[in-house]
Copies of this chain bind each other. A is one copy, B any other.
Amino acid sequence: MNTIEKQEDMRPLIVITNDDGIGAPGIMALQEALMELGDILVVSPDGPRSAQSNAITSVVPLRLHQVKGEEGLAVYKCSGTPTDCVKMALNLIADRRPSMVVSGINHGVNTSISVIYSGTMGAALEGCVDDVASFGISIDDYSRDADMTHAAEYARKVAEWVLKNGLPRYTCLNVNVPKGKPKGVKWCRQAQGSWKEEFERRVDPYGHNYYWLGGEFVNHEPGVPGTDQEAVESGMVSIVPVRLDMTDFGFLEKMEKDFKF
């Protein structure tokens, strides 16, 4: 479990980020929900960075601007990805070791396979890489005026629990909140699913083609209890513990026995 260092006269430092950008209602709600639990350091992208996964910016340099600095709350915006934001928070900005990284509240659910594309979860995984207890939280509502009341309440509940208990060294949490008042919380596994994609071709004013990616989620395990997708569809908050170690140990064991080049 991560050691939360008890520093005398110091409140826990909580890093907050997201992938919808600095002005998104979800990050404002998260910030408010966690204010009482510790000092808040917000480092968020300067605009939307959805589906940026664990991408790192290395081809161009990064810009960083402080937009707020008051007692218990510092806010920065960064030109990079959510993962860049966490790296900057932990390795450049924070004046002490953070106790927790929380990413969200994302406008749109990150259940099932979305965990590998999500910038929200990319940021949570990055905290985890650096041995800081981390979770991402998303709501099953894409609209900018989504009601964040319940999601914020559960963000705080999970944050309190994580601050108290820590998390295993290479594991973070993927929390997804249904629309409306949740019926409760369910620990889940990641549902198997994929996005069915279509590219829409358009022609620019100069006669050249360009393409927009569109698609819809397909649940390969519809209605299967124990999956995050089913939990959220049933009105529950799902929590999936997510591992940094992606090794398929079952197949590894088989291959070690069966197969030699």
> Interface-forming stretch among A5-13, A28-36, A50-58, A137-145?
A50-58
A242 near B248: Cβ-Cβ < 8 Å:
yes
Residues of B within 8 A of A249 (CB): 189
B187 near A252: Cβ-Cβ < 8 Å:
yes
Of chain B, the residue at the smallest CB distance from A92 is: B199
The interface on chain A, measured as residues whose beta carbon lies within 8 A of the other chain's beta carbons, has a size of 74
Residues of B within 8 A of A248 (CB): 168, 171, 241-243
Residues of B within 8 A of A261 (CB): 157, 161, 184-185
Of chain B, the residue at the smallest CB distance from A185 is: B261
**CB neighbors of B among A161-210 (8 A):** 161, 168, 170-171, 184-185, 187-190, 192, 194-195, 197-199, 202, 208-210
Residues of B within 8 A of A115 (CB): 246
A84 at the interface (CB under 8 A from B): yes
How far does the alpha carbon of A212 sit from the alpha carbon of B50 in the complex, in Å?
A: 22
CB distance from A53 to the nearest CB of B (A): 4
B199 near A91: Cβ-Cβ < 8 Å:
yes
A211 near B61: Cβ-Cβ < 8 Å:
yes
Residues of B within 8 A of A90 (CB): 197
Residues of B within 8 A of A74 (CB): none
CB distance from A82 to the nearest CB of B (A): 11
B59 near A197: Cβ-Cβ < 8 Å:
no
How far does the alpha carbon of A131 sit from the alpha carbon of B239 in the complex, in Å?
A: 26
How far does the alpha carbon of A97 sit from the alpha carbon of B130 in the complex, in Å?
A: 40
Name A residues whose Cβ lies closer than 8 Å to a Cβ of B.
48, 50-59, 61-64, 81, 83-84, 87-88, 90-92, 113, 115-117, 122, 125, 129-131, 157, 161, 168, 170-171, 184-185, 187-190, 192, 194-195, 197-199, 202, 208-213, 239-249, 251-252, 255-256, 259-261
**Known pairs A62-B211, A241-B247. 17 more at Cβ < 8 A?**
A52-B55, A53-B55, A56-B213, A63-B210, A83-B117, A88-B211, A92-B199, A113-B129, A116-B125, A116-B246, A130-B194, A184-B261, A187-B252, A190-B246, A239-B255, A240-B252, A242-B246
